[in-house]
């Protein structure tokens, strides 16, 4: 059944505490999600792995943490105010509103394949695909409004005066004005205090280029990394956390000498693809896809996406490539524009050669939420394992890489007596003292406890049994192979630490 795997993953995500619908007790809020106790660890581990590999393991990249609200001129200079838009379309049949460039494509003039549904439960059942060559993603209708561009930035106002209240207060004074004058006056009121929630973290790195250059004594090639929340008023949100209005990005701007940009662009493509593989993502579900010329953003000389094959339900069945990360050659566009708009010289002077240049920028821009969803989908597996009576049963297991696993080890006394819980408690204490996220469970049959940990993606289960009481050894069960090894109790922390590194 198409979409079956995704349904199972969504249900597991909720049941085990990875992802919850936001404000669920109030009926939820569209496309807003909360991370539960396991989900928050998964996402933190992904961000931690990114920061460690991009910043701590290199000498040429430093971090930064910028404010979400920036000077509104930043967005004029970056081009976001004028051009960060998506094509919005209304379905005339079911009234669904959607992004034209993400809608199902069909040959213009062909017969439409209708489905029931949509906001107004559209009544039309037959028709032809319009000249745009796409149909409504909900009901399949080809009778669509013209595309109009919609800016994705969230606008808010800074300061104690609410622009809406100001408009209401000025209402009577506006009435005698001509339509043009009224519009100009309204725009003035709104724009006076308008600020935007950042739609990407990148601009923080560009506007701080000089600050970082001066304080860090780095010189090109070097990078500035940042992770944090970004906001986009997405028209179409879908597939759990794949596309939401509030999300977290992990971006790095790498400043290089013009002329070396293509080489660094290739370097970062290979580095970033390897990063996902190094954390256990299956190679056959990962690919790099170069953007066609018409897809390129206004600032990009070249761009490619790291894509993952998600088990999403599609018209043709199950599975769809989706972007995890974009790697772009942004040229000197951003630094030039900010120089122009701010009046500050953002060029770099190379003392050895006495040359001045505006660096080119290579940007690997990843999403923490999409990565978390992809790692969750990739980890999901069903296999066979023996139940308490030795009969084979289906086992649901999340095969997370140990670096990403929310819980690293479970500590399980075989029974609740004979001093086993005391031994287990001692192991728990030792692990917690090292800051290793672990979980204690003494309730129920051991097989069932293993299964619960398999479903949470815990790589190792430490079991305290009768032999522990005799010889101070414990067993460590491997989640994937289900094999057990006996290890001295005193060595268990070192055993785990070696594997977690």
Backbone CA torsion sign across 278, 404, 234, 107: positive
Cβ neighbors of 75 (< 8 A, separation 6 or more) are: 81, 84, 153, 196, 203
234 binds ligand ATP (CB under 6 A): yes
Q: Which is nearer to ligand ATP, 16 or 243 (CB)?
A: 243
Give the torsion sign (CA, 244, 246, 247, 252). positive
Judged by CB under 6 A, the chain residues 289 through 328 that form the site for ligand ATP are: 323-326
Applying CB under 6 A, which of residues 93, 226, 239, 249 lies at the interface with ligand ATP?
249
Q: Is 370 in the site for ligand ATP (CB under 6 A)?
A: yes
Looking at the Cβ atoms of 203 and 244, the one nearer to ligand ATP is 244
Other Cβ atoms within 10 Å of 428 Cβ, number: 19
Q: For 46-60, give one letter per residue: b (16+ CB within 10 A) or e.
A: bbebbbebbbeeeee
- 366 contacts ligand ATP (rule: CB under 6 A): yes
Q: How far is the CB of 370 from ligand ATP (least distance, A)?
A: 4
Question: Least separation, in Å, of the C-beta of 334 and ligand ATP?
Answer: 13
Check: CB of residue 458 under 8 Å from CB of residue 370.
no
Q: Whole-number minimum distance, CB 324 to ligand ATP, in Å?
A: 5
The answer to whether 188 and 209 are in contact (CB under 8 A) is: no
Beta carbon of residue 152, minimum distance to ligand ATP (angstroms, whole number):
9
463 touching ligand ATP, by CB under 6 A: no
Does 243 bind ligand ATP (CB under 6 A)? Our answer is yes
Q: Contact between 454 and ligand ATP (CB under 6 A)? A: no
Question: To the nearest whole angstrom, how small is the minimum distance from the Cβ of residue 352 to ligand ATP?
Answer: 35
Spatial separation of the C-alpha atoms in residues 31 and 235, rounded to whole Å: 10
> With contacts defined by CB under 6 A, how many residues of the chain interact with ligand ATP?
16
Q: Which is nearer to ligand ATP, 21 or 157 (CB)?
A: 21
Contact between 198 and ligand ATP by CB under 6 A: the answer reads: no
Look-up of token digits 């993502």? 281
Q: Find the angle CA(406)-CA(411)-CA(412) to the nearest 5 degrees.
A: 130
Question: How far is 259 from 22, CA to CA, in rounded Å?
Answer: 47
> At closest approach, how far in Å is the CB of 355 from ligand ATP?
32
Write down the least CB distance from residue 342 to ligand ATP, Å.
Answer: 23
369 part of the interface to ligand ATP, by CB under 6 A: yes
**Are 403 and 333 in contact, with CB atoms under 8 Å apart?**
no
Are 78 and 201 within 8 A, CB to CB? no
Q: How far apart are CA 326 and CA 340, in angstroms?
A: 26
CB of 4 to ligand ATP, least distance (A): 24
Residue from the set 33, 206, 247, 312 that interacts with ligand ATP by CB under 6 A: 247
Q: Which residues pair with 237 in a beta bridge?
A: none
Q: Does 253 bind ligand ATP (CB under 6 A)?
A: no
* Contacts with ligand ATP, residue ranges (CB under 6 A): 200, 232, 234, 243-244, 247, 249, 323-326, 365-367, 369-370
């Amino acid at each position: 059944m198409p979409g079956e795997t995704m349904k199972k993953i969504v249900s597991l995500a909720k049941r085990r505490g990875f992802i919850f619908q936001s404000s669920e007790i109030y009926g939820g809020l569209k496309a807003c999600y909360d991370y539960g106790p396991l989900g928050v660890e998964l996402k933190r581990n992904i961000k931690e792995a990114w920061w460690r590999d991009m910043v701590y393991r290199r000498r040429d990249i430093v971090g930064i943490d910028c404010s979400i609200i920036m000077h509104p001129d930043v967005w004029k200079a970056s081009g976001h105010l004028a051009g960060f838009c998506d094509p919005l379309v209304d379905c005339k049949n079911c009234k669904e509103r959607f992004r034209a460039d993400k809608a199902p494509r069909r040959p213009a003039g062909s017969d439409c394949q209708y489905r029931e549904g949509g906001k107004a439960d559209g009544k039309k059942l037959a028709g032809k695909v319009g000249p745009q060559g796409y149909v409504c993603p909900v009901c399949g209708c080809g009778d669509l409004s013209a595309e109009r561009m919609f800016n994705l930035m969230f606008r808010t106002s800074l300061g104690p005066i609410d622009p809406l209240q100001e408009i209401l207060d000025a209402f009577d004074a506006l009435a005698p004005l001509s339509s043009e004058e009224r519009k100009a006056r309204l725009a003035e009121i709104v724009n006076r205090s308008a600020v935007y929630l950042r739609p990407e973290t990148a601009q923080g790195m560009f506007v701080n280029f000089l600050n970082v250059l001066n304080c860090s004594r780095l010189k090109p090639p070097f990078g500035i990394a940042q992770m944090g929340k970004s906001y986009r008023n997405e028209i179409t949100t879908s597939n759990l956390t794949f596309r939401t209005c509030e999300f977290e990005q992990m971006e790095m701007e790498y400043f290089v000498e013009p002329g070396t940009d293509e080489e660094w662009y290739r370097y970062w493509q290979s580095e970033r693809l390897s990063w996902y593989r190094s954390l256990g993502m299956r190679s056959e579900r990962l690919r790099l896809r170069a953007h066609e010329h018409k897809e390129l953003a206004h600032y990009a000389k070249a761009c490619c996406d790291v894509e993952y094959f998600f088990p999403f339900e599609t018209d043709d069945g199950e599975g769809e490539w989706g972007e995890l990360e974009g790697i772009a050659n942004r040229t000197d566009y951003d630094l030039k524009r900010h120089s122009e708009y701010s009046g500050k010289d953002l060029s770099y002077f190379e003392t050895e050669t006495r040359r001045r240049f505006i660096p080119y920028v290579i940007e690997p821009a990843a999403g923490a939420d999409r990565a978390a969803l992809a790692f969750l989908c990739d980890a999901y597996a069903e296999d066979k394992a023996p139940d308490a009576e030795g009969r084979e049963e289906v086992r649901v297991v999340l095969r997370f890489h140990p670096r990403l696993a929310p819980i690293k080890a479970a500590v399980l006394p075989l029974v609740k007596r004979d001093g086993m819980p005391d031994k287990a408690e001692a192991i728990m204490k030792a692990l917690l003292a090292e800051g290793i996220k672990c979980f204690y469970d003494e309730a129920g049959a051991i097989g069932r406890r293993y299964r619960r940990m398999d479903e949470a993606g815990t790589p190792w289960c430490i079991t305290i049994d009768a032999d522990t009481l005799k010889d101070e050894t414990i067993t460590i069960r491997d989640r994937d192979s289900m094999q057990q090894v006996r290890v001295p109790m005193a060595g268990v922390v070192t055993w785990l630490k070696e594997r977690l590194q």
